Amino acid sequence: MSRYRGPKLRITRRLGDLPGLTQKKSKKTTRPGQHGKNLGEGKKKTTEYGIRLEEKQKLKFNYGISENQLYHYIKEARRRNGVTGLILLQLLEMRLDTICFSLGYAPTIAAARQLVNHGHIIVNDKVIDIPSFQCQIGDVIGIKSKSPAKKIIENNLKTINFSAPPAHLTFNKEKLEGVVQNYCDRSELLLDLNELLVIEYYSRR
């Protein structure tokens, strides 16, 4: 399944705020559709399956990943020792495009993915153009020398009022360089999500 490329506010009206998808807020108070109900209505009719599906959709849209990619991360999280839900989120947060977003290089994960795809980002002084690249503790993320994207990134840092990255990252504003210090803690994530329901959604696969 390919990534969603339609109206972003239509998605946030249905699923709530998704910081990785868009920073914009919808002024509409109804769900998508001509006769959409007011937000918050109709929840009692939602089935358990529907609730799990909605949580899964939040992950997909926030991180901009396909169904196959998400299932791959689910399987990898199950394989590792620890709390499966937290490991799943840590895998997604350690993607290079997500880290570039968290460092303030871009206003959305999709925009950060473009920076990576076009070869503007380096990891440990090597150009990495794979958005799903799994960063490791100690990795240094920066901008390629003489990259035309440097001015865009500097402008993004000002426009989105970037102050500081999550606690598992450190950022040098002068060098525009970040370092992965640790795996993220659940409390750091801005996404309103019940990851256990996502794990349950895939429990029969």
Q: What CATH number has the domain bearing residue 110?
A: 3.10.290.10
Q: Which contacts of 107-116 are long-range, i.e. CB under 8 A and separated by 24 or more positions? A: 107/23, 107/156, 107/159, 107/160, 108/20, 108/21, 108/22, 108/23, 109/20, 109/21, 109/62, 109/63, 109/64, 110/21, 110/64, 111/156, 113/64, 115/149, 115/153
Strand runs labelled E in the chain: 121-123, 126-127, 140-143, 169-172, 177-180
User: Would you say how long the chain is, in residues?
Assistant: 205
Write the pLDDT tens digit of every residue in 177-196: 999 999 999 999 988 999 99
Helices 8-15 and 48-63 meet at what angle, rounded to 10?
140
Query: Within this chain, do residues 166 and 120 fall inside the same structural domain, yes or no?
Result: yes
Residues of the chain with pLDDT under 70: 1-9, 12, 23-45, 161
pLDDT for 122: 99
69 falls within a domain = yes
Residue 3 lies in a domain: no
As a whole number of angstroms, the distance between CA 177 and CA 197 comes to 35
pLDDT for 20 equals: 82
Give yes or no: residues 114 and 174 share one domain: yes
Q: pLDDT at position 161, please?
A: 66
Q: Does a structural domain hold residue 148?
A: yes
What CATH number does the domain containing 68 carry?
1.10.1050.10
Q: What is the pLDDT of residue 164?
A: 84
Q: Rounded to two decimals, what is the model's pTM?
A: 0.85
The domain tally of the chain equals: 2
pLDDT at residue 5 in the model: 56
Q: What is the pLDDT of residue 91?
A: 98
Whether 15 and 65 share a structural domain = yes
Sign of the CA dihedral with 200 first, then 6, 73, and 178 last = negative
Give yes or no: residues 164 and 106 share one domain.
Answer: yes
Closest of 32, 37, 3 to residue 20, by C-alpha: 3
CB 185 within 8 A of CB 12: no
Structural domain including 173 reads 95-182
Do the domain assignments include residue 1?
Answer: no
In this predicted structure, what is the pLDDT of residue 34?
A: 46
Domain co-membership, 76 together with 110:
no
Residue 2 lies in a domain: no
Asked if 173 and 123 sit in the same domain, the reply is: yes
